[in-house]
Structure 1
Amino acid sequence: MGDFFPPFCARGHCIHHEPTRRAGYQAYVRWGFYQTKAFGRVPRYRCTSCGKTFSRQTFRLDYYVKRVLSYEAIIQRLCSCESLSAIGRALSASTDTISNRISRAARQALARSSALSAVLNPDEDMVADGFESFCCSQYFPNTITLLVGASSQYVYAIDHVTIRRKGRMTEKQKKRRGMLETRWRAEAGGIEKSFTRIAHEVLRVYAGSKRPWFTLWTDEHPGYARVLAGSPHLSLLVREGVIRHRVVSSRVVRDTKNRLFSVNYLERELRKDLHEHVRETVCFGRNVNRQMERLSVYLHWHNTMKRHRAREGPRSNMEWVSTEGRGEKKGSKGIWEWRAWRSLTELSDAMSETWERRRRTPLLARQDYLPGYACM
């Protein structure tokens, strides 16, 4: 491990935990050590300002784990259409252990995505569309709204909403849906509320851009136009020409000339690479928050690790966004070693819901458990 020096106090209320007071943190003393099978001798420290004790492991992504697994190996297998059971068999670990590591990796991915959004200055149009899947049962479908760069294919934002089952059903299926909805029913107007959050994410993405206007491409879903017309802020920007909303029929050939190509391509990749989204699969998501954690890990891999094109060199989608993106690849070093802190990470509402596991899973009465270290 080499010499380790605590970068800040681990206690959230300590003055030496705040970003403005963290530089040159020296208000600590060594406080012994403890021995572990996984990490050997682990040094401890005590803050002389607040009295909080902590160790080197407090700052590591593997805090409180009893066995070391490769995050890179787990992510590579997850993004290659392997199920949790298959990953566990390959790494000789239980599915609970694999899920735990994916949850940790998801919080790292969210923190990295938030940091990138603060420095990237996109010079491209945006494409938005809803990706449909399901969780728990096909009686509880969901729409994951994706905001993707038109040329870079970088995913800027996502939002999740559970919707009511639609389409043709037999009488037996209708009765079954009615019975399940007595226990849990999706909120009405969920797709429009989800797109509203995505539309505001567009404004956040372009906050530092020098472009006087940008185009938002969608399909002909009537809810998208209603959102842009119904919001006082968004409708004003549309009237002034800052947001130019353009629609493309979903029946148009889905080739590279299609204006929705970037989001169509991403949806195809999700169907191909994430086992739970494959058509007619028996490997489906059973918990909404864990499903979104897996998706967050995949999108981090898609944005920063996967090549933009296999035959166009090693540049990732992040490096295609802007010159700032090309200089941020080094920032990913150490992402699977030192953990991100919730108290020091600024997240969007959708990211916060994923990090804090605040989404409700259909038919699940209790709120999902969130480890204490994830709130630090």
Structure 2
Amino acid sequence: MESSQCRGSSERRRRSLEHFIPRSCPSQECESQTGTSPFEFVSKGSYPRACDGRRIPRFRCKVCGKGFSAQTFRVDYRLKRPLRLLQHFELFISKVTMRQCARITGAKLDTVARHQRLLGEHCRALQRSLLVRAASTSERQLEVRIAFDELETFEIDRLEQPVTVAVVADAKSLFIYESEVGALAPRPSARSRRGERDPSKQSVSGSKVGRERRCGSRRTVRAALRRTALWLGPKAAVTAISDFKSTYPGAIHRAFGQQLVQHIKVRSTSPRNTRNPLFPANLTLAMLRDGASRLVRRSWAHSKHRGRLRLHLWIWIAWRNWCRERVVGSRRSTAAMASGLARAAFTIEQLLGFHGRFEELAGLP
């Protein structure tokens, strides 16, 4: 049974490649990219790919004369072992550290890091491309309830380099609209610990003791809410749910303006059950800590750089929004389907398909 399913998946993948039609020239120097000339191409046959046996069609741009193939537009372009990219994706969303990924797949650690960067950038582009398209094509006014909150982690040192992660989610469908990572100021206990040292020495972060990190929580929340307002579009009527943090009302009004209908505040001491209006945000943050190895508490899997944490989060968010069922037992109904952003659940192979063909994956015209 499993072998027949694998053969069926392989056949569908081969057919999708055989019927591939390029929409644009991949060369950034081509005049068709600037719009001065319409894009035209001719077919130049195909070739068998040695690593997996697929036949890849070739093309030639009639505008600039450069050749390319269907593989040029794929995420695994120029990868000698593309199956490892799929394996690493599944491990990244399963709370497996980078070193353990390297042990499991037999890859080098820098290969795992490179794949994580590639997957993070692709997943972020997919999310934003589909949200921008949905905002530009929507003709009716949307009534959206968003719930957002922050979780705290760190990079390198828990006291001297804390990090905040702001997440904005749909309160009904649990779709994650946006996430942002920012630095926090050192903890008071870190200052007292540094005071016992020689002032001429450097801190754990490598910077001088007198050079303090500033709190970036306000800037992080504003960036996440501002981009969420962009994805929702100008016709959305927004109800925001948050806790009583003093910086949240200003950030909400600055992001949504006249689109804001109501701001519901929930005390952080309230029971975190399903009756809590902030439950969607609490559930999302809990799932995020359970799925991403970098956010697990009291472990040595923490990030060494918050930029890598940002990319890792986008891998998990893309899988959570477009592939995973919204809740257990929802019969393959994803958060994107519940939000009206997709007509069917993505498979991981579809998610890691062609660059710029996200509308086709979502089943949109």
* Partner deviation per Cα, 1:180-214 (whole Å, 9 max, x = no partner): 342795653521112222232342233254x5x32
User: Aligned residue pairs: how many?
Assistant: 329
Question: Structure 2 residue aligned with 1:289, among 307, 310, 318?
Answer: 307
Match of 1:38 in 2: 51
User: Aligned with 1:119: secondary structure?
Assistant: helix
* Structure 1 residues 152 and 34, CA gap change in structure 2 (3 angstroms): closer
AA aligned opposite 2:244: E
TM-score, normalised by the number of residues in structure 1: 0.75
* Structure 1 residues 46 and 173, CA gap change in structure 2 (3 angstroms): same
* C-alpha separation in 1, matches of 2:231 and 2:224: 10
AA aligned opposite 1:219: D
**Aligned partners of 1:218 and 1:248 also within 8 Å:** yes
User: Aligned with 1:222: secondary structure?
Assistant: coil
Matched, 1:319 2:334: no
User: Aligned with 2:121: secondary structure?
Assistant: helix
User: What are the equivalent positions in structure 2 for 1:144-293 lying under 5 Å apart?
Assistant: 144-169=165-190, 171-174=192-195, 179-180=202-203, 181-182=207-208, 188-207=214-233, 209=235, 213-228=237-252, 231=254, 237=258, 242-293=260-311
Q: Give percent identity, aligned residues only.
A: 20
User: Aligned with 1:69: secondary structure?
Assistant: helix
Matched, 1:119 2:134: yes
Match of 1:130 in 2: 150
User: Aligned with 1:124: secondary structure?
Assistant: strand
Q: Quote how far apart the aligned CAs of 1:280 are.
A: 0.6
* C-alpha separation in 2, matches of 1:264 and 1:103: 27
**Aligned partners of 1:10 and 1:52 also within 8 Å:** no
**Aligned partners of 2:168 and 2:179 also within 8 Å:** yes
**Aligned partners of 1:142 and 1:162 also within 8 Å:** yes
Is there any run of 5+ residues in structure 2 with no aligned partner, and where? 1-13, 358-365
Q: Quote how far apart the aligned CAs of 1:35 are.
A: 8.4
Match of 1:82 in 2: 96
Question: Structure 2 residue aligned with 1:48, among 31, 53, 62?
Answer: 62
* C-alpha separation in 2, matches of 1:201 and 1:133: 22
Q: Quote how far apart the aligned CAs of 1:295 are.
A: 0.8
AA aligned opposite 1:223: T
* C-alpha separation in 2, matches of 1:334 and 1:45: 23
TM-score, normalised by the number of residues in structure 2: 0.77
AA aligned opposite 2:182: V
**Aligned partners of 1:29 and 1:47 also within 8 Å:** no
AA aligned opposite 1:155: I
Question: Structure 2 residue aligned with 1:309, among 311, 324, 327?
Answer: 327
Q: Quote how far apart the aligned CAs of 1:256 are.
A: 0.9
* C-alpha separation in 1, matches of 2:315 and 2:106: 21
* C-alpha separation in 2, matches of 1:222 and 1:262: 21
User: Aligned with 2:350: secondary structure?
Assistant: coil
* C-alpha separation in 2, matches of 1:316 and 1:20: 41
AA aligned opposite 2:101: I
* C-alpha separation in 2, matches of 1:34 and 1:185: 57
* C-alpha separation in 2, matches of 1:127 and 1:36: 46
Is there any run of 5+ residues in structure 1 with no aligned partner, and where? 342-376
Match of 1:351 in 2: none
**Aligned partners of 2:183 and 2:214 also within 8 Å:** no
Q: Quote how far apart the aligned CAs of 1:273 are.
A: 1.6
User: What are the equivalent positions in structure 2 for 1:63-102 lying under 5 Å apart?
Assistant: 63-102=77-116
* Structure 1 residues 20 and 146, CA gap change in structure 2 (3 angstroms): farther
User: Aligned with 2:153: secondary structure?
Assistant: strand
* C-alpha separation in 1, matches of 2:67 and 2:197: 54
Q: Quote how far apart the aligned CAs of 1:109 are.
A: 1.1
Matched, 1:15 2:39: no
**Aligned partners of 2:163 and 2:306 also within 8 Å:** no
* C-alpha separation in 2, matches of 1:5 and 1:205: 29
Q: Quote how far apart the aligned CAs of 1:176 are.
A: 6.5
Q: Quote how far apart the aligned CAs of 1:173 are.
A: 4.6
**Aligned partners of 2:183 and 2:215 also within 8 Å:** no
Match of 2:361 in 1: none
